[in-house]
Amino acid sequence: MTAPASAAVPMALHGLAAGSAGRPASADWTIPQRWSDYTPQEHAVWQTLYERQTALLPGRACDDFVAGMRDLPIRPDRIPHFAELNEVLKPRTGWEIVAVPGLVPDDVFFNHLAHRRFPSGQFIRQAHQLDYLQEPDVFHDVFGHVPMLMNPVMADFIQAYGEGGLRAQKLGTLPLLARVYWYTVEFGLVQQADGLRIYGAGIASSRTESVFCLDDPSPHRVAFDLMRVMRTHYRIDDFQEIYFVLDHLDDLLELARVDFEPLYRQVAYLTASQPEFLPADLAPTDRVLHSGTGAYAARQRQAQAQHGR
Ligand code: HBI
Ligand code: FE
């Protein structure tokens, strides 16, 4: 989610990434959270992550994120107990958190979302992975996603994404839908009366990207446009080179009701004659809020060339 760290210490893998060892006995991939098994070191990692994000997010996270965080029993000093979160979350929006080992297969993931169950990684990253890990852990999933699940609009949108994901799998169009999720739920920005704000969980749970996405001149910031987003590649290995900005969080309400089938056909039609957009591209139709310099991505490319990669 942020700049790659060196891999001097071997990574522990979880869920899908761990192969057959990561697959639990249950068909839906859920496991008990086993909260009392977390070690003091694991709670300490949570505290470090919690404290530095909490210091950064005022004036950066959107009001709905801040309100969700305020109302949830999420404490600085310990990994949250899912049962306690659910006591607040479930009456609010009908969502509940379930524990999973890590990444789960797409169909399993969508099935949970379609039933308003949010799968959260049970594990927490190790102390040497504070800034970067590829798998969703309990900090990303709970700190990043759960505050926004307290918001009724986001609650409906993510359920609709789960239902849409199951349909898109059958249609073979999942990569197009996944871009919508990526550029909203994970890396979305929203225009607030007092300025640009974060609502995406991938940003809100990242110390470095929560600053970069708002303050750095490098990335583009462009008004959200559904067709445009579906035609845009994204990066999973570094900061985004483009962020899409909602005028209002309530725009997700409309997005939750969209019939994607005709849009998939439209995207396929366009892609037959025009290439899709790379993250660094601006489109002629874009409502550009900030035209990025691209300086960060250029520096990264240069550094990688020097390291012979
Ligand atoms: N599993 N636990 C978990 N969390 C995710 O965010 C996730 C997943 N499996 C599949 C997946 N995301 C994505 O590939 C889909 O959103 C497309
Ligand atoms: Fe996520």
- pTM for the model: 0.94
**What are the phi and psi torsion angles at 267 (to 5°)?**
-65, -45
Q: What number does the ligand 1 atom closest to the CA of 108 have?
A: 9
Instruction: Give first-to-last CA distance, the chain, whole Å.
Output: 20
Ligand approaching nearest to the C-alpha of 161: 1
If you take atom 13 of ligand 1, which residue's CA is the nearest one?
106
Look at residue 200 in the predicted model and tell me its pLDDT: 98
Report how far Cα 186 is from the mean position of its chain's Cα atoms: 2
Classified as helix, coil or strand, 279 is: coil
> Residue 239: which of 253, 223, 218 has the closest Cα?
218
Residue owning tokens 């199951």 = 166
- Output the pLDDT for position 309: 56
**b/e string for 75-114 if b means 16 or more Cβ within 10 A?**
eeebbbbbeebbeebeeebebbbbbbbbbbeeebbbbbbb
The token pair at 231 is: 């035609």
Mutating to test ligand 1, I would choose from 31, 98, 103 the residue with most ligand atoms within 8 A of its C-beta, which is 103
Is the CB of residue 144 less than 8 Å from the CB of residue 195?
no
Q: Which domains does the chain have, with CATH numbers?
A: 15-306 (1.10.800.10)
Q: Which residues does ligand 1 sit against, CB inside 6 Å?
A: 100, 103-104, 106, 109, 119, 136, 178, 181
Report which protein residue has its CA nearest ligand 1's atom 14: 106
The ligand whose atoms approach the alpha carbon of 186 most closely is 2
The protein residue whose alpha carbon is closest to atom 10 in ligand 1 is 106
Interval between CA 192 and ligand 1 midpoint (Å) = 28
Neighbouring-strand partners of residue 263 = none
Nearest CA to ligand 1 atom 4: 103
As given in the structure block, the two tokens for residue 256 are 């939750």
Ligand 1 centre to CA of 104 (Å) is 6
Nearest CA residue ID for atom 5, ligand 1: 103
Backbone angles phi, psi at 171, to 5 degrees: -85, -10
Q: Ligand 2 (ion): which residues have CB within 5 A? A: 201
Q: Which residue numbers in the chain have pLDDT < 50?
A: 1-9
Measured from the Cβ of residue 219, the count of other Cβ atoms closer than 10 Å reads 25
Active-site positions read 140, 145, 186, 205
Ligand nearest to the CA of 204: 2
Ligand 1 atom nearest residue 15's Cα: 2
Residue among 106, 137, 149, 186 to mutate when testing ligand 1 (max atoms within 8 A of CB): 106
**CA–centroid distance, residue 198 to ligand 1 (Å):** 20
Structure tokens at 155: 């609650």
Run of H or E residues at 198: strand 195-198
